Structure 1
Amino acid sequence: MLHRLRAAFAPAAVPEQHTRTVLSRGHSHGDLNDAPAGLPVALRPVRATDGERWSAARIEDQQLLQPFEPTVQGDWATAHSPQAWRKTFHNLQILSADRVLVPMVIDIDGEFAGQLTIGNIQYGTVSSAWIGYWVHSRFQGQGVATAAVALGVDLGMQVVGLHRIEATVMPENVASRKVLEKTGFRIEGHLQRNLHINGEWRDHLLVAQTQEETAPEGVVRTLVNRGILGLAVNRN
């Protein structure tokens, strides 16, 4: 019985190249239609060759990332060295092969701009996962996170086949809270001392959305219609 349920509700395999691209929009001081055109944002699978760029971005942005990320073992530079990427990539590949995690790179015109991960994918009558992301400081303030999360939610629901996607965010992380709200997440609760962040246990807000709350055409198309993202195209 469990095997049949797992087969019936199992998320679809994620294609090797998820090349859908949307245009982010820069900050606006008024009407969204006046917001400057943004950047072409896409998601692609992580690669073994991402190590150098991953390491450089993570080390450069330590002061921005560390206050909001799980505590690392040892020092930040060692934990994010190109050598550390080899182990990280290996672990991501194992979890991806087991179909419990979808590890993606946020790609802007071929440049490594951050990561987006759909993790803890559960099957059967749960059919849910969490989503997490980070964006390199070079690309912040240009709507890239909003575009990436919109793509990620559509990937999770339309390609992987999830019913529910959730995320956790620290209450003081205002920028990330705005991204999640803009892309359709609603607050479900306050988790006390939920994750060990930068050396101490920290509270988080639990946010989520389900298929019933998402327009049939997806989050990307909804935000395009609202003028928050540019028209989506396929890079084929």
Structure 2
Amino acid sequence: MRAKTLWSIEAPGGEGKLLAFEPTEEEVLVAAPLLAIFNNDRHNSAMLTNTQEMTATDIVENYEFLRTNKGRPFLLEQDGVLIGDADFRKFSGSTAEFAILVGSRTEQSRGLGTRYAAMMHLAAFRVLGLERIYASIVPTNVASRRMVEKLGYQLDQSPFASSFAEEKDDIVMSIDRARFELASAGLMSEVTITARVKGLGVGT
């Protein structure tokens, strides 16, 4: 396996520090039971189109699958408390797909998803080498569409964008580096990006 740096992204939040970080295998094991609960929540599973109950083992295997396929999964914490996860997946050159779940229902609809997404996009364009990012959204997931639109995403009906859709009626949107930086200029000075583990043998 090729050595890869794990990144940490930090920013201030209204109720404590926001932290998105690429976890070690041990950290995934610790987080997996709560992540399974988040995924199995009725509302969350509908938005994620999950059809089967997730176990902690399933979560660990999903993280391993992502990394084996060049994905970059992150855990999301607010003031030290795990509230969700997110990732960049389906890397192709300088493009990838973004997905996020603020799994704690008490923390949803408060703008945290948008804040975390902005933090992660800044890191994606600055340190992960991405130039365009895609998001595939279930038509009924209005909140997710509003979130990415706040970041500057636009509807993308190109053939390549369509390849990210899991169902034919999914909405695919995308954003490039220049548009994101223009829409999020004020974010630059608030976010700290650091290498938390350098040269760890994970992924491919």
Equivalent position to 1:94, from 27, 47, 68: 68
Residue 153 of structure 2 corresponds to: 185
Structure 1's 205 and 48: CA in aligned 2 closer, same or farther, altered over 3 A?
same
Residue 118 of structure 1 corresponds to: 88
Contact kept in structure 1, 2:66 and 2:89, CA below 8 Å: no
Counterparts of 1:1-236 in structure 2, within 5 Å, are: 15-23=5-13, 37-46=14-23, 47-59=28-40, 61=41, 63-72=42-51, 75-76=52-53, 80-95=54-69, 100-123=70-93, 127-136=94-103, 137-189=105-157, 194-195=165-166, 201=167, 203-215=169-181, 219=184, 221-222=185-186, 231-232=190-191
1:169-222: per-residue Cα shift (whole Å, max 9, x none)? 12321111111111111112396xx42xxxxx4611111111222327x83x43
Residue 201 of structure 2 corresponds to: none
**Could you list the runs of 4 or more consecutive aligned residues of structure 1 that deviate by over 6 angstroms after TM superposition?**
none
Q: Secondary structure at the match of 1:103?
A: strand
Deviation, structure 1 residue 66: 2.0
Deviation, structure 1 residue 140: 0.8
Contact kept in structure 2, 1:39 and 1:144, CA below 8 Å: no
Deviation, structure 1 residue 232: 3.9
Q: Secondary structure at the match of 2:181?
A: coil
- Structure 2 gaps of 5+ residues are 197-204
Aligned-partner residue type, residue 22 of structure 1: P
Aligned-partner residue type, residue 98 of structure 2: I
When Rg is computed on C-alpha atoms for both structures, the one with the higher figure is 1
Aligned-partner residue type, residue 53 of structure 1: L
Aligned-partner residue type, residue 67 of structure 1: A
- Structure 1 gaps of 5+ residues are 1-12, 24-36, 196-200, 226-230
Structure 1's 21 and 64: CA in aligned 2 closer, same or farther, altered over 3 A?
same
Q: TM-score normalised to the size of structure 1?
A: 0.67
Contact kept in structure 1, 2:123 and 2:193, CA below 8 Å: no
Q: TM-score normalised to the size of structure 2?
A: 0.76
Structure 1's 38 and 14: CA in aligned 2 closer, same or farther, altered over 3 A?
farther
Higher relative contact order (CA 8 A, sep 6+): 2
Matched residues in 2 for 1:158 and 1:53: separation?
30
Residues paired across the two proteins, number: 184
Structure 1's 83 and 184: CA in aligned 2 closer, same or farther, altered over 3 A?
same
Structure 1's 214 and 204: CA in aligned 2 closer, same or farther, altered over 3 A?
same
1:131-177: per-residue Cα shift (whole Å, max 9, x none)? 01111212112211001110121121111011101111123211111
